[in-house]
């Protein structure tokens, strides 16, 4: 083992029994565990956030399988690399099984042409594909490949799993076992907490802490909470603003506003800002929510949201966070009505799918002389000429008479 390699690389598990976490797919009674153990794999797409164990799982498979195992990275590889791997798999002298497991890291970075090049070989069984991706494969990976693969969703590692991995790294000779290290349980838990479910971040932080701390007079490297904190970046954003989790977070933000949970809405707003989300994009979401979910229950919400969007555009970050927070709290705490939202949706459906008739002649426009002779505007009653500024007359086409679109609910005063 080359000790100059990163700690996260050196302590990767070599077998399923060494793998920590992902019990929902790798528990001993789970299908994937049994499939790997029996070396009966079909093509897989491993989907999950950075540092959750996708590459480590591929490493375990490479140590377990009897088939030739080939790894390529979609960032640097092209169609030529795919063809070379296929040629090696087809060469019975080099590969008597005539089959190989091809691990493609960051498969979402392959374009359509590159992904299509894999299809015939996955189809005929020459290649057992294992693709790893941080992006939603249903959006980023060829549908034909998806249909021929099992999509496995990996979750961010739990804090207790990361603590266990850190402890193993401290004991392992491939890890930090050759150092005399003193570190409290609470410090390990703090590292795990700050890593945000990314074990690579946790291991890198631990390694930096150990390698940059001098031994005390007893020959011990003592890692305190302060040293650990300095060795780690601030808590990582839990999602990439351009990735799939971006949509999950903004969905949670909108649904928290709709559900009148100001605390949850502020939380998802903070996650978005921490990940570098465009504050104007968030302001636009607030404008939409104020119209769609608050509506006529509090029309002033739309005024507040629109003003917030203008202010955010003028001010920018970091002060824009205050404006966004104020509008978020206001909208979350407002009474809710989607009556206007329902009304326009139903009307749009009618005008696009039904014969809705013609506009009554008396409310049509007669801008040119002579049009009134054909009935345009004839008989129109001007409401302001009547008591209360209202007069009974027909506005809907004959075919739509009696149709109700706006149904006032009890939240509207």
Q: Exposed e or buried b for every residue in 54-74, given b needs 16+ CB within 10 A?
A: bbbbbbbbbebbebbbbbbeb
Q: Do 262 and 327 contact (CB within 8 A), yes or no?
A: no
- Kindly tell me the burial class for residue 28, based on how many C-beta atoms sit within 10 Å of its own C-beta (0-12, 13-18, 19 or more): exposed
pLDDT, tens digit (0-9, with 9 covering 90-100), for 102-122: 888 888 888 888 888 888 888
The reply to whether 22-153 and 244-333 are identical in fold is: no
Q: Do 257 and 267 contact (CB within 8 A), yes or no?
A: no
In this prediction, residue 352 carries a pLDDT of 92
Asked if pLDDT for residue 35 goes beyond 80, the answer is: yes
Q: Specify the CATH number of the domain 22-153.
A: 3.40.50.300
In this prediction, residue 91 carries a pLDDT of 67
**Does the bond joining 231 to the residue before it have cis omega, within 30 degrees of 0?**
no
Per-residue DSSP letters for 342-396? HHHHHHHHHHHHS------GGGS---STTGGGGTTTTT---GGGSGGG------S
pLDDT, tens digit (0-9, with 9 covering 90-100), for 74-92: 888 778 888 887 877 766 6
Distance of CA 268 to the CA centre of its chain: 13
Domain 244-333 has CATH 1.20.272.10: yes
Asked if pLDDT for residue 239 goes beyond 60, the answer is: no
Q: How confident is the model at residue 385 (pLDDT cuts 50, 70, 90)?
A: very high
Indicate the class that CATH gives domain 340-400.
Answer: mainly alpha
Q: What is the mean pLDDT of residues 295-299?
A: 94
Domain 159-231 has CATH 1.10.8.60: yes
In this prediction, residue 226 carries a pLDDT of 87
Domain ranges of the chain: 22-153, 159-231, 244-333, 340-400
CA 31/CA 34 separation, integer angstroms? 5
Beta sheet of 44-47, edge-to-edge order: 68-73, 100-105, 127-133, 44-47, 150-153
Q: What is the mean pLDDT of residues 356-373?
A: 80
Asked if pLDDT for residue 257 goes beyond 60, the answer is: yes
Asked if pLDDT for residue 178 goes beyond 80, the answer is: yes
Q: What is the mean pLDDT of residues 182-201?
A: 88
Query: What is the 8-class DSSP label of residue 115?
Result: H
Q: Do 115 and 142 contact (CB within 8 A), yes or no?
A: yes
Positive/negative CA dihedral, 34, 39, 40, 42: positive
pLDDT, tens digit (0-9, with 9 covering 90-100), for 139-165: 888 888 888 888 989 988 898 999 999
């Amino acid at each position: 083992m080359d000790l100059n390699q990163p700690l996260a690389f050196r302590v990767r598990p070599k077998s399923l029994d060494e793998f920590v976490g992902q019990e929902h797919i790798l528990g001993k009674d789970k299908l994937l565990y049994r499939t790997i153990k029996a070396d009966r794999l079909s093509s897989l797409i491993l989907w999950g956030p950075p540092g959750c164990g996708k590459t480590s799982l591929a490493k375990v498979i490479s140590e377990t399988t009897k088939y030739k195992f080939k790894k390529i990275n979609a960032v640097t590889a092209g169609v030529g690399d795919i063809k070379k791997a296929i040629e090696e798999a087809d060469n019975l002298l080099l590969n008597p099984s005539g089959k190989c497991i091809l691990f493609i890291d960051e498969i979402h970075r392959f374009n359509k042409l590159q992904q299509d090049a894999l299809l015939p070989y996955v189809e005929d069984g020459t290649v057992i594909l294992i693709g790893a991706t941080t992006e939603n494969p249903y959006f980023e990976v060829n549908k034909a490949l998806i249909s021929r693969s099992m999509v496995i969703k990996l979750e961010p590692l739990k804090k207790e799993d990361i603590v266990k991995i850190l402890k193993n790294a401290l004991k392992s000779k491939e890890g930090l076992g050759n150092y005399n290290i003193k570190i409290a349980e609470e410090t390990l838990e703090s590292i795990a907490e700050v890593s945000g479910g990314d074990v690579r971040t946790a291991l890198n932080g631990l390694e930096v802490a150990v390698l940059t701390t001098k031994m005390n007079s007893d020959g011990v490297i003592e890692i305190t909470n302060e040293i650990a904190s300095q060795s780690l970046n601030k808590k990582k954003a839990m999602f990439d603003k351009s990735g799939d989790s971006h949509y999950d977070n903004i969905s949670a933000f909108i649904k928290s506003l709709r559900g009148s949970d100001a605390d949850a809405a502020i939380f998802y707003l903070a996650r978005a800002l921490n990940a570098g989300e465009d504050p104007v994009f968030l302001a636009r979401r607030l404008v939409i929510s104020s119209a769609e979910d608050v509506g006529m229950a509090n029309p002033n919400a739309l005024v507040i949201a629109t003003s917030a969007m203008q202010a955010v555009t003028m001010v920018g970050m970091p002060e824009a966070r205050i404006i966004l927070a104020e509008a978020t709290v206001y909208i979350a705490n407002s009474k809710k009505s989607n009556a206007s939202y329902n009304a326009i949706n139903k009307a749009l459906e009618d005008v696009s799918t039904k014969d809705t008739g013609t506009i009554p002649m008396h409310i049509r426009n007669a801008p040119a002389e002579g049009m009134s002779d054909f009935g345009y505007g004839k008989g129109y009653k001007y409401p302001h000429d009547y008591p209360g500024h209202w007069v009974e007359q027909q506005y809907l086409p004959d075919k739509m008479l009696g149709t109700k679109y706006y149904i006032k609910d009890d939240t509207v005063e």
